């Protein structure tokens, strides 16, 4: 099943909405699709380069209330009905995404999220042991971000100081349900932008060779292999990026 993220912040008119849907659901077309509801229904059914005709599509609509106001309630409701219609092969979820700096009120949700991510990776989350730094987020990291979906933590990222010129990217995790939407990249961009603002010249990270999807994301973001820089016995991959 393919996934798309419709972000209400990227359009404010019907024409812009149709243009964004064309961008999301087509690949390498030499012509423009129609700017009407029938054409939208055709795009949702597939066959225009993004997903196959009849293939199920999962759509997440962020900032949906903004879109309702911008596009008009009647038009918005009609679009959501089309997207949820069985013939469209689409499942629509209205969401509210935001990335916030960690606060203590998020601790329980953060622990639950991190434990779930670790379990999926075949690891144990030990907040009273080797991961005790999670009990002192503010004292351990320069900054720690939580990505929230409808107030639930679905992703994290952090920056930790190594020395005056080097920052370490830490705790980059994303809920499985939200992968494939570019949200991991958004979290990384947030962290690296912060590191640049703090005048770090280099970012480093450690990982494991078995985490192939994460390594592809790091490489796509400009990280390259480097020498070991810490004593983490679990890690066998070390990467750096000049900021």
pLDDT of residue 113: 97
Query: Percentage of the chain with pLDDT > 90?
Result: 94
pLDDT bin (cut points 50, 70, 90) of residue 58 is very high
Q: In sequence order, what DSSP letters do the residues of the chain get, joined into one string?
A: -EEEEEEGGG-SSHHHHHHHHHHHHBSS-SSPPPSSHHHHHHHHH--SBSS-TT--EEEEEETHHHHHHHH-HHHHHHHHHHHHSGGGTEEEEEE-EEEEE--GGGHHHHHHHHHHHHHHTT----TTTTTGGGGGHHHH-SEEEEEEETTEEEEEEEEEEEETTEEEEEEEEE-GGGTTSSHHHHHHHHHHHHHHHTT-SEEEEEE-TT-HHHHHHHHHTT-EE----S--TT--EEEEEE-
Residue 120 in contact with residue 130, Cβ under 8 Å? Answer: no
CA distance 40 to 43: 5
Q: In sequence order, what DSSP letters do the residues of 103-117 get, joined into one string?
A: -GGGHHHHHHHHHHH
pLDDT bin (cut points 50, 70, 90) of residue 9 is very high
pLDDT of residue 178: 95
* pLDDT tens per residue, range 89-114: 899 999 999 999 999 999 999 999 99
pLDDT bin (cut points 50, 70, 90) of residue 88 is confident
pTM of the model: 0.90
* pLDDT tens per residue, range 168-219: 999 999 999 999 999 999 999 999 999 999 999 999 999 999 999 999 999 9
Largest CA distance in the chain: 59
């Amino acid at each position: 099943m393919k996934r798309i993220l419709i972000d209400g912040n990227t359009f404010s008119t019907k024409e812009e909405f149709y243009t964004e849907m064309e961008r999301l659901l087509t690949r390498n077309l030499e012509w423009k699709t129609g700017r009407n509801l029938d054409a939208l229904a055709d795009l949702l059914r597939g066959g225009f380069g993004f997903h196959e005709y009849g293939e199920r599509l999962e759509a997440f609509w962020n900032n949906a209330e903004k879109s309702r106001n911008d596009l008009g309630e009647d038009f918005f409701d009609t679009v959501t009905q089309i997207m949820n219609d069985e013939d469209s092969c689409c499942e629509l979820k209205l969401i509210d995404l935001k990335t916030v700096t960690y606060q203590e009120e998020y601790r329980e949700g953060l622990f639950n999220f991190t434990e779930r991510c670790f379990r999926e990776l075949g690891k144990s989350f030990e907040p009273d042991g080797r991961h005790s730094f999670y009990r002192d987020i503010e004292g351990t990291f320069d900054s720690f971000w939580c990505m929230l979906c409808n107030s639930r933590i679905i992703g994290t990222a952090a920056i930790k100081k190594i020395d005056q010129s080097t920052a370490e990217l830490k705790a980059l995790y994303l809920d499985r349900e939200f992968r494939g939407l570019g949200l991991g990249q958004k979290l990384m961009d947030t962290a690296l932008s912060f590191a640049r603002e703090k005048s770090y010249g280099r970012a480093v990270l450690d990982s494991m060779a078995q985490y192939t999807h994460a390594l592809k994301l790091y490489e796509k973001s400009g990280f390259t292999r480097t020498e070991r820089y810490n004593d983490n016995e679990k890690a066998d991959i070390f990467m750096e990026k000049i900021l």
